[in-house]
Amino acid sequence: MGVFDHAEFDDHESLHFINDAATGLRAIIAVHSTTLGPAAGGCRRWSYAGDTDALTDALRLSRGMTYKNAVAELPFGGGKAVILANDNAPKTPELLSAFGRAVNSLGGSYITAEDVGMSVDDMRHVQQHTQYVSGLPQSGGSAGGDPSPWTALGVYLGIEAAVSVRLGKDSLAGLTIAVQGVGHVGLYLCQLLHDAGAKLIVADVNRENLDAVSNAMPVEIVAPSEILFANADVLAPCALGNVLTTATIPNIKAKIVAGAANNQLSTLADGERLSAREILYAPDYVINAGGIISVSHEYYGGSSEDQVRADVAKIPARLHAIFAEANETGRPTNELADELARRLIAVGKK
């Protein structure tokens, strides 16, 4: 199967395959759209089963960034980079420098930042070779830095919105929330949820992540294979995507799915499956936009943390509008979010 016939190819503007023999860097940069601005999206470093899986991830994630940035009303298009992790190519300064040169070669059509497997310190190395990078340390109250806390805040506010609609409650106190993945974003989210009085069930494949969250607050730890089916009010997927499938949806006990992971739905039809079970789904790229909102303010400059916070606080209103339309029409929330994103992009083209 050719790239143009790939199931996730969606009129992407360009695909770039990076191979740097000296450092072992193998990466894919997918630019989905630059209609609304340069294609912005983080860089993910992951151990994929094969090149095809990496390509699928890059294509899906970059399209999701286009939709995310459009709905969040940011002056960005959508793009994504994935670095194929393997034992022969450790994450060295040299490898990160090679990635920075690859980003720079695109002349600003793609702007990178940290994502799964990458850190603020990694972006410092990348910055030495390109100006087209964000998510860098800031000082003096300026916008920017690690976007994870902002992603977590947006998800937290989105969970509050979903709870008010689906459960009719104006507080998270006493609710049980299952968090899948307690890395950077998941840990920040757990702290917010704990402070709000929620009971937490957590799972992660990384023992250090579990130790960090259990040392910080009371949590119930379950196996990764059990977390999706926990007896909880809210399920918050905050690890990798593709977790809501024909196999998992029938066994979910939560009445709400609202988390930070990208591409939570395996297929578009899985949104309908959730709706049929009366599970309220907060479209992932709507609820998890806090991080890219911070990146945007940092990249274009002249903003403060207070301005970032104000824009992240707009996420619940967008979700409420989607939830209300879903209630009126009976249509799945993911379909409505996609239509909204495409309308905004079409306006941008005009």
**Range 89-107 burial, b when 16+ CB lie within 10 A, else e:** bebeeebbbbbbbbbbebe
Share of the chain above pLDDT 70, in %: 98
Residues 275, 161 share a domain: yes
Q: Return the pLDDT at 165.
A: 98
User: Which one from 80, 169, 255, 350 is the annotated catalytic residue?
Assistant: 80
90 and 184 share one domain = no
Structure tokens at 291: 């991080």
* Higher pLDDT among residues 194 and 302, named by residue: 194
234 and 119, same domain (yes or no): no
1 pLDDT exceeds 60? no
Residues 42 and 184 in one domain: no
Structure tokens at 36: 């609304």
> In CATH, what number is assigned to the domain containing residue 9?
3.40.50.10860
Q: Please give the pLDDT value at position 139.
A: 64
pLDDT (tens digit per residue) in 337-348: 999 999 999 998
Return d(Cα 35, Cα 15) in angstroms, integer.
16
Same-domain status, 22 and 123: yes
Q: Is residue 49 part of a domain?
A: yes
Do residues 43 and 111 both lie within one domain?
A: yes
186 shares a domain with 89: no
Spell 229-265 as b/e; 16+ CB within 10 A means b: bbebbbbbbbbbbbbbeeebbeebebbbbbbbbbbbb
Q: How many domains does the chain have?
A: 2
101 with 190, same domain: the answer is: no
294 within domain boundaries: no
Same domain, 83 and 178: no
Residue 222 and residue 245 in contact, taking contact as beta carbons nearer than 8 Å: no
Residue 261 lies in a domain: yes
> How many other C-beta atoms are found inside a 10 Å radius of the C-beta of residue 302?
8
pLDDT of residue 89: 83
322 & 212 share domain: yes
Full-prediction pTM beyond 0.85? yes
For residue 302, pLDDT beyond 90: no
Give yes or no for residue 141 having a pLDDT over 70. Answer: no
80 belongs to the catalytic site = yes
Q: Residue 18: name the closest of 56, 55, 59, 61 by CA.
A: 55
Closest CA to 104 of 126, 82, 77: 126
Instruction: Please indicate, yes or no, whether residues 275 and 338 belong to a single structural domain of this protein.
Output: yes
| Domain extent for 105 | 3-67+75-127
Cα distances (Å, whole numbers) of residue 15 to 28, 166, 345: 7, 40, 20
What backbone phi and psi angles, to 5 degrees, belong to 234?
-130, 135
Do 120 and 212 lie in a common domain?
A: no
